Structure 1
Amino acid sequence: MKKKFTIEQCCRLIDHTNVKAYATKEDMKKLCEEALSYHFAMVAINSGQTAYCHEILKGTSIHTGAAIGFPLGQTSIESKVFETKDAIENGADEIDYQLNITEVKSKNWEYVKKEMKAITDVSHQHHKICKVILETAYLTDEEIVKICEIAKEVKIDFVKTSTGFADKGATIEAIALMKQTVGNSVNVKASGGIRDANTFKEMLSYGASRIGTSAGIKIIEQLKKEAIDGCIEIEVNYENE
């Protein structure tokens, strides 16, 4: 089965990203202006940049997305909850938090669930979208499935592959496994290493419904060149529930 997307719909699937430690205010301004120009879904930034980007984007349909516990996830639940609340107070519309992989490797699933529920609850109390970053490069298939099962139980909005800081980013295999596990209960975000139109389409093909990338403009310009009547077609390689 094939699914048709307009170029505008493709733009609205992209989280336009700059989480570099050395990003300047001018870089953040440029990121926001590009997101406005292309009508991307969100700017994905470190939480310290939230207030600045929110001020530029307020009154528009472009969301400000704050990364929490980023990129290692090695802070306490209380620290992540505080950072989440602070980001929301400063204008964040979406929260992308890195889970604690140490606890995953220890099979401390109660901790993983407690952390996910705490951050999801705070986000949802303020009517904000919440995503958990798995960092799939460090995980076994069994660990990915278990986290996704917890995500279904907690009712978080998205499971997300990567920070972009690991040795490997999003893969088709990880996206397919995540989508197979969560079905339509939770959305899937692919991020890390998505730099061209072909990879973008592959991620959508296997179940991603949001794409985190710093190459959004390049991807959209490539898609425009291959579009027919302003649309592209993508093979659907997953089953809907």
Structure 2
Amino acid sequence: MNHDITAEHVAGLVDHTLLKPESTPADIAALVTEAVKLGVFSVCVSPSLLPVAVPAGADLKIATVVGFPSGAHKADAKAAETASAVRDGADEIDMVINLGAVKAGDWQLVEDDIRAVRDAAPATVLLKVIIESAALTSDEIVAACEASERAGADYVKTSTGFHPAGGASVEAVALMSRTVGPRLGVKASGGIRTGAAARALIEAGATRLGLSGTATVLAGIANPASESGDEQASGY
């Protein structure tokens, strides 16, 4: 066990996430309040709920999603969504890859799709590419990560949390980290419900975590004896 993985350290890696379609502005305000209390890195919300008000003096980034959750949007639509989100104050963009193009082996289309989003945002806006790793073969994971890097991504990310194939796995994170690390970051998201799961993913190479149950995960990091369960991240 890596004893450097403290609750404070993990909080600094967390995108505190609320992407339920029924979320309201009041829900987002509550998310921000909790995020500041927990000391997380950012909140991640749906683009229709931007802009997000952050308390004065709070060090909290704002992330949003693009082409979510299917990724089956045209590149110009993703680019327009990105430009709108940036105007509304997004610091980070989590875009969904074109999974159909991945499965067809059309890597030029995959790369062009990502680059359209990269070009629609200033270089100061961080771009994470959601590859939906649970739906891919190992070779596809590697190729998707490589295409993301060529197109200018800053991070590759495992999952939307909405795909029936499941969420993050230690195996996928390790493979993604071997492929792009340390040049790009690796974000693990989808099904991370315990401190043990979060710890395992960090040890596998995750440099950011997407969590909805952040308080529970951080409590499990602080007091591992308080939780039981599989140290792997389960599907949802």
TM-score with structure 1 setting the length? 0.88
Partners in 1 of 2:151 and 2:4 — Cα distance?
Answer: 31
**1:132 pairs with one of 119, 124, 129:** 129
Q: Which ranges of structure 1 fall in alignment gaps of 5 or more residues?
A: 228-241
Distance 1:81 1:58 in 2: 30
Q: CA deviation at 1:122?
A: 2.7
1:8 aligns with 2:5: no
User: What is the aligned partner in structure 2 of residue 205 from structure 1?
Assistant: 203
Which of the residues 142, 145, 162 maps onto 1:145? 142
Q: In 2, distance between residues paired with 1:95 and 1:108?
A: 23
**Matched-pair identity in %:** 36
Shift of 1:58: 6.4
1:230 alignment partner in structure 2: none
* Other-structure match for 1:224: 222
- Cα distance in 1 for partners of 2:19, 2:39 equals 19
Contact kept, 8 Å, 1:57 with 1:63, in 2: the verdict is no
Deviation at 1:215, TM superposition (A): 1.0
Structure 1 residue 40: Cα displacement: 0.7
Q: Gaps (5+ residues) in structure 2?
A: 226-236
- Residues 1-241 of structure 1 mapped to structure 2, 5 A cutoff: 2=2, 4-51=4-51, 53=52, 55-57=53-55, 59-123=57-121, 125-167=122-164, 168-226=166-224
User: 8 Å contact 1:17–1:43 — kept in the other structure?
Assistant: yes
Q: After superposition, what is the alpha-carbon deviation per residue over 1:109-130, rounded to whole angstroms, capped at 9, x for unaligned? A: 111111112212333x251110
Task: Name the CA distance, whole Å, in 1 between partners of 2:9 and 2:203.
Answer: 15
Looking at structure 2, the residues matched to 224 and 2 of structure 1 have their Cα atoms a distance apart, in angstroms, of: 13
The runs of at least 4 consecutive aligned structure 1 residues that moved more than 6 Å come to none
Q: Distance in 1 between matches of 2:6 and 2:221?
A: 10
Structure number with the bigger relative contact order (C-alpha 8 A, sep ≥ 6) is 1
Q: What RMSD, in angstroms, separates the aligned Cα atoms of the two structures? A: 1.7
- Give the TM-score normalised by structure 2: 0.90
